[in-house]
Chain A
């Protein structure tokens, strides 16, 4: 009798162990999943010299998106539910490392799509690999214009990606020119006459600064540029140079990312260079992370900064939920690259569902081109791609496979320790929250 019971139990166990991988799996009791797990590769800088804080936020967003999708029965293709997993690869902010990690994700982990990328240099270096291996890709943070422009124009001696008939790369972060135009339009509207650009020596900083310089000079503004290396801590000798000039500049624009920008902004304020009634301080979007900003730039009141992404007062339900989850995890407001990374995963899944396949790259690309989906940053769509390959004259080439509607604003703190939710949106005028295009240091809007 005892032998029979043991036999039955053994058979039952074997049956279960055999059937579980072959058939459907119940994840949380209400969904049945196929045994295949769809995997996406997420490229993010998780260690130095990359922008680790940005990478951690992006990694969190990937995982959060996968968790939310799986909680909603995963990726649903032709009536079958697939679990979704995002495997984060650490690019370290380095093009070479990014390429190696992208190849590992594609060739070893056999991912079905790619999302993420923070640094432009990594985006530019890896897009060829994704294209060669026909991996649908949605970049969520690199700003360099060529990331999307290379879809239809030659870049660095390489043929346009679309030359092969299909371009697998999309971008939902803004191009540098889209950001730069807002900041420069604002400065020009304020009537500045001379501007100092302090620029990081990277594939993001240099083209972005060149674009801003061209726009400012076209408006008759005198521009001088100082390049700095990311990771530099002491800027005082460089700032002393500005301080020694006969007249203080009207504005100092910082095109530098990460903690390097925090050090620069703080030292600039400590030396009394900017923000002052004479000189406008315009730092970069990371100032929106007000907990980090005030912790490291205690003298940075009245600095303005460009903000990419939807402004807090316009957050939709998805953004509010995402922000709440992020705040619970990190105690700060969700950054735009966190929102974009979260949205990129959802967009890829949405495209796979509409394409009816997780492996047919051509169908997925076509589905992404046809995207029309409302996510945390708003409505996503692509104006130009193989579905509409002719860019009208005057349309910048970076609009290829580029989400055209990322919101870019200029915001400004006007109280010490202020939350970025309460900071003034000063430009464009349509988004102004305090009725002022600039809050002069020492005053209130």
Chain B
């Protein structure tokens, strides 16, 4: 059924998307009506309507520009995806659309666009902040046509642009993947929706937990401008402080009351937080303050080495005290897993069941609560504002009466504390050994750079993205063995792409 695909290519699809991108702003320009939607909205409307319905869609918006709203655009995008999917699934030979995509769009055109368009924007003295990202995404999704249009008109690029183009690119990848792996759990109807939802839920749950650790790292960086290489060990030692607090506390209470008492691991979190906050603050005062006082010549190298050494000392001291044998605390909650039961939606399609391990769900809620508490503290309290002010301009902050030295100590203490709380939240979930932080901290570095160094919301979003990408990568890879073995690598691919397309990260501050 190649005819369906060709018909869609002729009557709608990428070609008409580009025509729509050009045509709607042109029409609006001629009308010069103040009530017209903004230029970028018109461009998105052109792309979506052209891709979904071809000339029909473009004509619709051409005649009735007031119908261009976010809701109609979203609907249009869904229609576009549906029509294109219906066209593609009827093709017996999956190599045809793959080859067509590689010629008409894909990574080659993405690279060409990423090279050409930002230069063009700078030449035209247009706002080029998102030009690289939009060009790369546009080249990937629509191919050479978008290069011509962006080259000629250098349109202003909004975030909606990137969402639309990114969604189109993601859909194309998914569709091609589905054509080549018809039996894959992620695409094989009728259970693929449930499976994708299950893997997404897995990713969101673990991603929120990753975020908590990464938030501490980004906080330290935003205020002090250094990366703590002891973060993994502070995470690890937080788990151990919780473990020993719970063990000895339970024993003590049991002895005092004469009955068996087991303290809930939730109580280990504030205990670990307090101890590690003090550890971090003390370390900052003794070893990092000289750096900020100008007593150290090579600050960047010093910060790396001293935090690395701190981590080394923590890890091997813990190994000497706790030993190498894995530990784990009791559960947060007695529910082993939450299950969203199977629901028959239509005669042919059922959704569910979806399982989430109880303790993970609880740890996720703890992580989200702590991140929002931190955001509240940073936004609403005087100390939080002082921290933010110091992170933005140390000297200006000092002029307003903020003591940057104290803010340094506070930020390192808080960052360490967040790592420890993350560890204390995870020791009921993972087997805990003195080197448990190594894997987690590597992922944290990816998350903070992905989200934007210094951005707390960025760390949260970055953590969730990493979690979802890892889960979908491991769950959808055609070869289960490789999917599992390369789990961490999937997040690194996204990381590399973000670094290429948006070097400041998703929420990073622009440097001018």
- On A, residues with C-beta under 8 Å from B are 47-49, 52-53, 55-56, 199, 201, 224-229, 231-238, 240-241, 243-244, 259, 262-263, 266-267, 270-272, 289, 291-292, 295-296, 298-299, 330, 332
Contacts and interface: CB of A to CB of B under 8 A. Distances in A.
Nearest to A238: B484
Contacts of A299: 336
B198 A244 contact: yes
Interface in B172-199: 185, 191, 194-195, 198-199
Contact of B328 (A226, A229, A232, A295): A295
B311 to A, nearest CB: 13
A236 B485 contact: no
Contacts of B327: 295-296
B7 interface: no
B417 interface: no
A236 B482 contact: no
Interface string B478-498: 001111110110000000000
Given A229-B488, A236-B202, A270-B357, 14 more contacts: A47-B435, A201-B485, A225-B480, A225-B481, A226-B484, A229-B485, A232-B484, A233-B436, A234-B430, A237-B202, A238-B474, A240-B198, A270-B358, A272-B355
A47 B359 CA distance: 29
Contacts of A292: 325-326
Tell me what chain B mostly uses at the interface: helix, strand, loop, or mixed.
helix
Contacts of B488: 229
A212 to B, nearest CB: 15
B431 interface: yes
Interface of B: 185, 191, 194-195, 198-199, 202-203, 206, 319, 323-328, 331, 336-337, 355, 357-360, 430-431, 433-436, 438-440, 470-472, 474-475, 480-485, 487-488
16 contacts: A56-B324, A232-B439, A234-B430, A236-B357, A237-B199, A237-B471, A237-B474, A238-B480, A240-B475, A241-B483, A259-B433, A263-B430, A270-B357, A270-B359, A292-B325, A295-B328
A132 B307 CA distance: 42
A287 to B, nearest CB: 12
B324 A53 contact: yes
Contacts of A227: 481-482, 484-485
B439 A233 contact: yes
A259 B431 CA distance: 6
Contacts of A238: 474-475, 480, 483-484, 487
Contacts of B358: 270
A199 B482 CA distance: 12
A299 B195 CA distance: 25
Contacts of B199: 237, 240
Given A201-B485, A263-B431, A237 B325 contact: no
Contacts of A243: 355
Contacts of A235: 484
Contacts of A233: 430, 436, 439-440
A228 B484 contact: yes
Contacts of B206: 234, 236
A60 B480 CA distance: 39
Nearest to B472: A237
A241 B323 contact: no
B431 A271 contact: no
Nearest to A292: B325
B439 A231 contact: yes
Contact of A244 (B195, B439, B485): B195
Nearest to A233: B430
Chain A to chain B: the 8 pairs with minimum beta-carbon distance, closest first: A48-B435, A52-B324, A237-B474, A227-B481, A296-B431, A237-B471, A259-B431, A259-B326
Contacts of A237: 199, 202-203, 470-472, 474-475, 487
A236 B480 CA distance: 13
Chain A CB within 10 A, most for which of B206, B474, B488: B474
Contact of B431 (A229, A262, A270): A262
B471 A48 contact: no
A72 to B, nearest CB: 29
A226 B198 contact: no
Nearest to A200: B485
B480 A224 contact: yes
